[in-house]
A and B are shown apart, each in its own frame.
Chain A
Amino acid sequence: SQTIHQWPATLVQPVGSPLSLECTVEGTSNPNLYWYRQAAGRGLQLLFYSVGIGQISSEVPQNLSASRPQDRQFILSSKKLLLSDSGFYLCASLRGRTEAFFGQGTRLTVV
């Protein structure tokens, strides 16, 4: 079965510091991969999605970037974090070609 691994589970970072969140998928090949952010009390905002290695689509211009160096690896990065980058970051993939499922998420607090 397909599973998504995300780490770390929680992260506290100072303003201006860099960020790297990693997501890996098991049990499938060439998956569609997604990064979402959920700010406190808000819905899921689609940040990036990828249909293959090196292919990244950005939904919202912001302080973040994404990369897909390997088929089942998706990385979310920032060079300098802002307070507004705080939130719950979720990596997602597809099951059965149409249904999105999520990793356990990373709760990021920028202080």
Chain B
Amino acid sequence: QKEVEQNSGPLSVPEGAIASLNCTYSDRVSQSFFWYRQYSGKSPELIMSIYSNGDKEDGRFTAQLNKASQYVSLLIRDSQPSDSATYLCAVGGTGNQFYFGTGTSLTVIP
């Protein structure tokens, strides 16, 4: 399988701070990139998708993509306790497969 690497954490940030999550991938031809949030015991839910180099903002979330460095990141501004979850990075393969990292556990401390 294609490799998608994430720091497993745990990452702890105080409420209101910026949480920064990082992901690297091995397949240079990948064209689609996603961030999922997974609460304990639940299935992942899509929070951001990005396809072009640069930044994409959606509310408190910003995804950043650098294809030359094979790097994707997610910034969460004004972190809330409800953001505490595991965040999974996913990369689309050439045949509509999706490969996931192991996830980063985020805890937002009130």
Cα–Cα distance between A92 and B34 once the two chains are bound (Å): 14
Contact B1 A43 (CB under 8 A): no
Contact A43 B88 (CB under 8 A): yes
A17 at the interface (CB under 8 A from B): no
Count chain A CB atoms within 10 A of each CB in B41, B45, B98 and give the residue with the most. B98
A94 at the interface (CB under 8 A from B): yes
Cα–Cα distance between A42 and B8 once the two chains are bound (Å): 9
Size band of the interface chain B makes with A:
20 to 34
Within 8 A of A (CB), among B68-110: 88, 90, 92, 95-103
A12 to chain B: which residues have CB within 8 Å? none
Cα–Cα distance between A102 and B37 once the two chains are bound (Å): 12
Give chain A's interface secondary structure class. strand
Q: Which residue of A lies closest to B90 (CB)?
A: A100
Contact A104 B43 (CB under 8 A): yes
A46 to chain B: which residues have CB within 8 Å? 1, 97-100
Contact B44 A44 (CB under 8 A): yes
B62 at the interface (CB under 8 A from A): no
A29 at the interface (CB under 8 A from B): no
Cα–Cα distance between A100 and B98 once the two chains are bound (Å): 8
